[in-house]
Chains A and B, each alone.
Chain A
Amino acid sequence: QKEVEQNSGPLSVPEGAIASLNCTYSDRGSQSFFWYRQYSGKSPELIMSIYSNGDKEDGRFTAQLNKASQYVSLLIRDSQPSDSATYLCAATMNRDDKIIFGKGTRLHILP
């Protein structure tokens, strides 16, 4: 069974520090990876997608992918209280395959 694993948290990070969120996946054939943010009572919204090994930066967010270790991470620099949310990691093999979501990591930014 294909799985995406995340630490449920909560992960508490001081405001202004770097928040590091981690995710592992079981299917070595996975090709596409996504990070979603979900505020309490809201639906998930896409933050980043990554398809190749290495780092991908978008503003304060950096996604890192290591296919050999089957590991994806999300770094949030200069963390803000508004970053407090649950972060969902997701993976899929190809466009015709279903997307598998992790259960999410709750992030709490301490003012």
Chain B
Amino acid sequence: KAGVTQTPRYLIKTRGQQVTLSCSPISGHRSVSWYQQTPGQGLQFLFEYFSETQRNKGNFPGRFSGRQFSNSRSEMNVSTLELGDSALYLCASSSPTRLGADTQYFGPGTRLTVL
């Protein structure tokens, strides 16, 4: 079974631009979560989508948004980029286990650099 894929893997943008990142989950997984990882803050939760609906949201400004399509693929968008948005953006897909808790599988990430 193919793993989680993310595109693009690397991205360089300038301040004020916007960016769209894409994530394709493991086949059969309906939940997709997005995280921002930086050396100082660690792995921070952005939002989660389940069956095309946002189920959970982290504490990020409205410049960060996302959506999920009917095939479970997800995109996240960051508008008006700031230098501090430079980070590794990770997508994780999940499927409930028999014990009821989701086990998340991460994609390789998109490394975003804002100049």
> A residues within 8 Å of B by Cβ?
31-32, 34, 42-46, 49, 51, 88, 92, 94-104
Interface size on B, residues (CB 8 A): 24
B99 touches A32 (CB 8 A): yes
Q: Which residues of B contact A51 (CB under 8 A)?
A: 99, 101
B103 touches A98 (CB 8 A): no
A-B pairs under 8 A by CB, number: 59
Main DSSP-derived SS at the B contact region: strand
> B residues within 8 Å of A by Cβ?
33, 35, 41-43, 45, 48, 55-56, 58, 90, 96-97, 99-109
* Chain B residue with the shortest CB-CB distance to A32: B101
B46 CB to nearest A CB, Å? 10
Q: Which residues of B contact A102 (CB under 8 A)?
A: 42
- Alpha-carbon distance between A94 and B48 when the two chains are bound, in angstroms: 14
Do A49 and B106 form a contact, CB below 8 Å, given A98-B45, A99-B33, A100-B45? no
